[in-house]
Amino acid sequence: MATIAHEIPQVAPEEVNYLNVEHGWKSWLLTTDHKRIAMLYLFSITAMFFVGGLMAVLFRINLLQPEGIFSPETYNRLFSMHGIVMVFLFLVPSIPATLANFLIPIMVGAKDLAFPRVNLLSWYLYIAGAAFTLYAIVRGGVDTGWTFYAPYSSTYSNSYVLAAAMGIFIAGFSSILTGLNFIVTVHKMRAPGMTWGRLPLFVWSNYATGLIQVLGTPVLAITMLLLAFERIAHVGIFDPNIGGDPILFQHLFWFYSHPAVYIMILPGMGVISEIVSCFSKKRIFGYNFVAFSSMAIAVLSFVVWGHHMFVTGESVYTGLAFSFLSFMVAVPSAIKVFNWTATMYKGSISFDTPMLYVFGFIGLFTIGGLTGLHLATLATDVATHGTYFVVAHFHYVMVGGMVMAFLGGLHFWWPKMTGRLYPEGWSKFSALIIFIGFNLTFFPQFILGYLGMPRRYQSYPPEFQALNVLSSAGASILGIGYLIPMIYFVWSWKYGPKAGNNPWGAAGLEWQIQSPPTTFNFDETPIVKEEAYNYGKLEEILG
């Protein structure tokens, strides 16, 4: 590869694209180009990912010893900040604000999102939210867990709850604005001929995500605000001493935070649909069902929050309803997995790095999803609630699912975003390392969980040590696995070989334009004449 790059004559003037059209910090900080904003987001969330990851490494070190290594105070702050940073500042914006921000206008054939300035505002809100949260970390952190359960967070905790809650409140609006922009863009900005039935599935899944962001996040915002009032003025709304109801807090919190886990997985599912189809050179199996299942997930996600509260003493009939609905939401997720698998049937499969991440995703998401059945079932939830079983389950979905999809998507569209290729050998190697490290970290936690080890414990009975040591060892491998792509991506930006417009031979509007794209994406508005994933006419795609 390197030799080929060398042979390209350096004299040709570089073509104008969104990256080199303007220079200087102002051209970035005041940009309204969705692609530049996506890049701003990419840097910001990567920084947050490593902040959150560092905390994880530190508390995994603590758990090497049954009696712990750090003080309980330090440990509690580490796991709380890990959760807050990873959920609100990494996972929620991860794919929507970066890949989708970059790709949705291109995929629907538009010059930009419907509201470019709102898009920039959303990034500034994100930065403001992150600043509040980082302030809380620098001042000593928060020790409430990412769930902020009252009355501990409102009355008892002596940590920087207020700053973190405000950080989440502000970052929440950034998420709302992103979702709003996607919804309007998909409805109103589609190019001529781009019907709903021709939209790429990545657009469908981000549209569904947008609905959740717009409908769920405001409830989290008001909850954080009420919590802040409770903390500042002791108004009593969540204080059982004067009749406040801590369970109300949990209802309001999970009304957002359960749909939020679908904000954290739906866009990843969209990425997988794109990649699996491209590297099988085959149209997606059951397009309508995959698209419809995204919408079904978005709708059902709003009626399952009560399954976080089976053991709080909510009425058994409430529990019954929420348990049933939780099984319902498993169906559309299963449909997707089956369709991805079926897409490979009679395909022509190549094993480039993005495809390796697809294998990782399907494997880990299947395990993560199926262990969700243990938690949706009332009786087994009682046995596993609040243990490492839950921790393992949601890491399989969030990290095994979303982070794998995010990395897969990044490897898939990196040539489009930067115009450069990354070293294939290193990227395959790191994909393997991440897969091994991930399983070593989190699989033992299923076993620990059913043995009864509670989550959020700074110290634990000695018989749990072996599995904890395994988990910590896995975490160190996982950490290295995440660092390698970081290094070669940065390297490839400058030194990587030129990618060309369509290195994967993929269908889709984004592959028919220049890499990196120009500021307005298309020289003239494209007119769409065929459905997505039209790999039957591969020669046409490759031009």
Q: Is 436 in the site for other proteins (CB under 8 A)?
A: no
Candidates 70, 135, 359, 426: give the one binding other proteins (CB under 8 A). 359
260 vs 482, which CB is nearer to other proteins? 260
Residue 452 phi, psi dihedral angles, 5° rounding: 115, 5
Q: Is 452 in the site for other proteins (CB under 8 A)?
A: yes
Q: How far is it, in rounded angstroms, from Cα 148 to Cα 144?
A: 5
- The minimum distance between CB 195 and other proteins, in angstroms, equals 7
Candidates 31, 371, 441, 445: give the one binding other proteins (CB under 8 A). 371
Q: Is 469 in the site for other proteins (CB under 8 A)?
A: yes
Whether the ω angle into residue 151 lies within 30 degrees of 0, i.e. cis, is yes
The one-letter code for the residue type at 285 is: F
Q: How far is it, in rounded angstroms, from Cα 521 to Cα 515?
A: 10
Long-range contacts of range 337-343, CB-CB < 8 Å, 24 or more positions apart? 337/362, 337/365, 337/366, 337/369, 339/284, 339/285, 339/286, 339/289, 339/290, 340/272, 340/273, 340/276, 340/285, 342/285, 342/286, 343/276, 343/277, 343/280, 343/282, 343/283, 343/284, 343/285
Site for other proteins in 395-424 (CB under 8 A): none
Candidates 54, 131, 370, 436: give the one binding other proteins (CB under 8 A). 370
Candidates 9, 13, 24, 243: give the one binding other proteins (CB under 8 A). 243
Site for other proteins in 198-227 (CB under 8 A): 214-219, 221-223, 226
Q: Is 263 in the site for other proteins (CB under 8 A)?
A: no
Site string for other proteins, 121-160 (x = CB under 8 A): ----------------------xxx---x-xx--xxx---
Candidates 386, 491, 501, 503: give the one binding other proteins (CB under 8 A). 386
Site string for other proteins, 19-38 (x = CB under 8 A): --------------------
CB 512 within 8 A of CB 176: no
What is the torsional sign of CA 324, 172, 189, 265?
A: negative
- The minimum distance between CB 362 and other proteins, in angstroms, equals 6
319 vs 496, which CB is nearer to other proteins? 319
- The minimum distance between CB 59 and other proteins, in angstroms, equals 12
- The minimum distance between CB 105 and other proteins, in angstroms, equals 8
Site for other proteins in 298-337 (CB under 8 A): 310-313, 316, 319-320, 323-324, 327-328, 330-331, 334-335, 337
49 vs 88, which CB is nearer to other proteins? 88
CB 38 within 8 A of CB 32: no
How many Cα atoms within 13 Å fall on the side-chain side of residue 255?
Answer: 17
Candidates 17, 135, 162, 459: give the one binding other proteins (CB under 8 A). 459
83 vs 496, which CB is nearer to other proteins? 83
Place of tokens 């994933």: 533
Residue 454 phi, psi dihedral angles, 5° rounding: -75, 150
Candidates 50, 115, 135, 429: give the one binding other proteins (CB under 8 A). 115
Structural Rg of the chain based on CA atoms: 23
Q: Is 503 in the site for other proteins (CB under 8 A)?
A: no
Site for other proteins in 163-182 (CB under 8 A): 176, 180-181
Whether the ω angle into residue 105 lies within 30 degrees of 0, i.e. cis, is no
How many Cα atoms within 13 Å fall on the side-chain side of residue 525?
Answer: 10
Q: Is 362 in the site for other proteins (CB under 8 A)?
A: yes
49 vs 453, which CB is nearer to other proteins? 453
Place of tokens 């204080």: 239
- The minimum distance between CB 45 and other proteins, in angstroms, equals 22
- The CA-based angle 326-152-146, given to 5 degrees, is 50
